[in-house]
Amino acid sequence: MAPKKQSFELSALEQKIMLVIMRQTPNAYGISIQDRLKEDTGKEYSFGSIYAALERLEDKGFIKSRVGEATAERGGKAKQYYALSGEGQAALDEAMNTWDVLRAGAGWKGALA
């Protein structure tokens, strides 16, 4: 019997961040992720919540980071850029498929009455 594929739960914020990273690759970094989330969702997420989620995603192996060049406008600090890993893409696909399956059986008509 083949070993069961390990499945990780992704929070709603982690899913949103992963989708933003996909859109912004190869230029996804903390502030650009925060800005895109605010623009797309209308909700402002704190840097702390975003960076905590990025750290969890990297610990799970779902994203990879790389350090960019230091820039004068950032006081010589380099940006940390993020990209989805193959495992991250698979986990996000699984999460999106789960939402699709659940939504398909929800019977939206009349549910808002």
Q: What digits encode the pLDDT tens for the residues 3-23?
A: 445 567 899 999 999 999 999
User: How confident is the model at residue 3, as a pLDDT?
Assistant: 47
57 and 21 Cβ atoms separated by less than 8 Å: no
Q: Please answer whether residues 97 and 84 qualify as being in contact, where contact means their C-beta atoms are separated by less than 8 angstroms.
A: no
CA angle 74/57/10 to nearest 5° reads 130
Query: Backbone phi, then psi, for 107, in 5-degree steps?
Result: 65, 60
Distance CA 80, CA 30 (A): 7
Tell me the CATH architecture of domain 12-103: Orthogonal Bundle (1.10)
Q: How far apart are CA 59 and CA 41, in angstroms?
A: 26
pLDDT digits over 10-69, tens only? 999 999 999 999 999 999 999 999 999 999 999 999 999 999 999 999 999 999 999 998
Question: Can you give the residue ranges of every domain in the chain?
Answer: 12-103
pTM score > 0.75 for this model? yes
Interacting residues of 14 by C-beta distance below 8 A, sequence separation 6+: 53, 56, 57, 62
Q: Which position has the higher pLDDT, 100 or 113?
A: 100
